Copies of this chain bind each other. A is one copy, B any other.
Amino acid sequence: MFESAEIGHSIDKDTFRKMMPALREALLDAQYDLKEQANFPVLILIHGFDGAGRGETMNLINEWLDPRLIDTVAFASPNDEARARPWMWRYWRELPANGRIGMFFGSYYSDALFERVFSRSDRDAFDRQIFDILRFERMLTLDGAVVLKFWFHLSRDKQKQRLKQLEQDPATSWRVTKTDWEHYERYDKIRKYGEHMLRLTNTAHAPWIIIDGEDANYRGLTVANTILEAIRNRIGQAVLTTDRVEAPPLLAPIDNKLVLDTLQLDQKLDKDGYQKKLDQLQGRLNKLTRDPRFARHSLVLAFEGNDAAGKGGSIRRITQALDARRYRVVPVAAPTQEEKAQPWLWRFWRNVPGKGGITIFDRSWYGRVLVERVEGFASEADWMRAYYEINDFEHQLTENGAIVLKFWLAISKEEQLERFKGREDTGFKRFKITDEDWRNRDKWDLYRQAVSDMVDRTSTSKVPWTLVEANNKYFARIKILTTICDALEARLSE
Which of A75-83, A152-160, A259-267 sits within the interface?
A: A75-83
Take A174-B283, A426-B21, A431-B66 as given contacts and tell me if A72 and B338 are in contact as well, using a CB distance cutoff of 8 Å: no
**A338 CB contacts on chain B under 8 angstroms:** 336-338
- Looking at A62, A68, A320, A337, the one whose CB has the most chain B CB atoms below 10 A away is A68
B280 near A171 (CB under 8 angstroms)? yes
**A64 CB contacts on chain B under 8 angstroms:** 428
Which of A127-135, A188-196, A325-333 sits within the interface?
A: A325-333
Q: Which of B25, B55, B75, B319 interacts with A59 by CB under 8 Å? A: B319
**A28 CB contacts on chain B under 8 angstroms:** 428, 430-431
B324 near A55 (CB under 8 angstroms)? yes
Take A283-B171, A320-B59, A338-B338 as given contacts and tell me if A25 and B325 are in contact as well, using a CB distance cutoff of 8 Å: no
Q: Which of B62, B282, B431 interacts with A32 by CB under 8 Å? A: B431
A362 near B59 (CB under 8 angstroms)? no
Take A28-B431, A80-B80 as given contacts and tell me if A331 and B67 are in contact as well, using a CB distance cutoff of 8 Å: yes
Chain B residue nearest to A22 in the complex (CB): B427
Q: Is A115 an interface residue (CB 8 A)?
A: no
Q: Is A435 an interface residue (CB 8 A)?
A: no
Take A171-B280, A174-B286, A283-B174 as given contacts and tell me if A72 and B328 are in contact as well, using a CB distance cutoff of 8 Å: yes
Q: Which of B287, B319, B362 interacts with A174 by CB under 8 Å? A: B287
Tell me the minimal C-beta distance from A41 to chain B in angstroms.
16
Take A28-B428, A76-B325, A325-B74 as given contacts and tell me if A283 and B331 are in contact as well, using a CB distance cutoff of 8 Å: no
| Interfacial residues of chain A within 425-482, with CB under 8 A of chain B in the complex | 426-428, 430-431
**A79 CB contacts on chain B under 8 angstroms:** 79-81
Q: Is A15 an interface residue (CB 8 A)?
A: no
Q: Which of B68, B105, B326, B327 interacts with A325 by CB under 8 Å? A: B105
A59 near B171 (CB under 8 angstroms)? no
Chain B residue nearest to A331 in the complex (CB): B68
Q: Is A312 an interface residue (CB 8 A)?
A: yes
Q: Which of B279, B323, B325 interacts with A171 by CB under 8 Å? A: B279
A279 near B63 (CB under 8 angstroms)? no
Report A401-427 CB contacts with B as 1/0, cut-off 8 Å: 000000000000000000000000011
**A17 CB contacts on chain B under 8 angstroms:** none
Report A48-70 CB contacts with B as 1/0, cut-off 8 Å: 00000001001100111011100
**A327 CB contacts on chain B under 8 angstroms:** 74
Q: Which of B67, B173, B279 interacts with A329 by CB under 8 Å? A: B67
B68 near A24 (CB under 8 angstroms)? no
Bound: A337/B97 CA distance, A: 14
Q: Is A256 an interface residue (CB 8 A)?
A: no
Tell me the minimal C-beta distance from A470 to chain B in angstroms.
18
**A320 CB contacts on chain B under 8 angstroms:** 59
Of the A-B pairs whose beta carbons lie under 8 Å apart in the complex, a sample of 20, sorted by A's number, is A21-B426, A21-B428, A22-B427, A25-B427, A25-B428, A27-B428, A28-B430, A58-B324, A67-B329, A72-B329, A74-B323, A79-B80, A80-B80, A81-B81, A106-B325, A173-B283, A174-B286, A174-B287, A337-B337, A338-B338
* Chain A positions near chain B (C-beta within 8 angstroms): 21-22, 24-25, 27-28, 32, 55, 58-59, 62-64, 66-68, 72-76, 79-81, 105-106, 170-175, 279-280, 282-283, 286-287, 312, 316, 319-320, 323-329, 331, 333, 336-338, 362, 426-428, 430-431
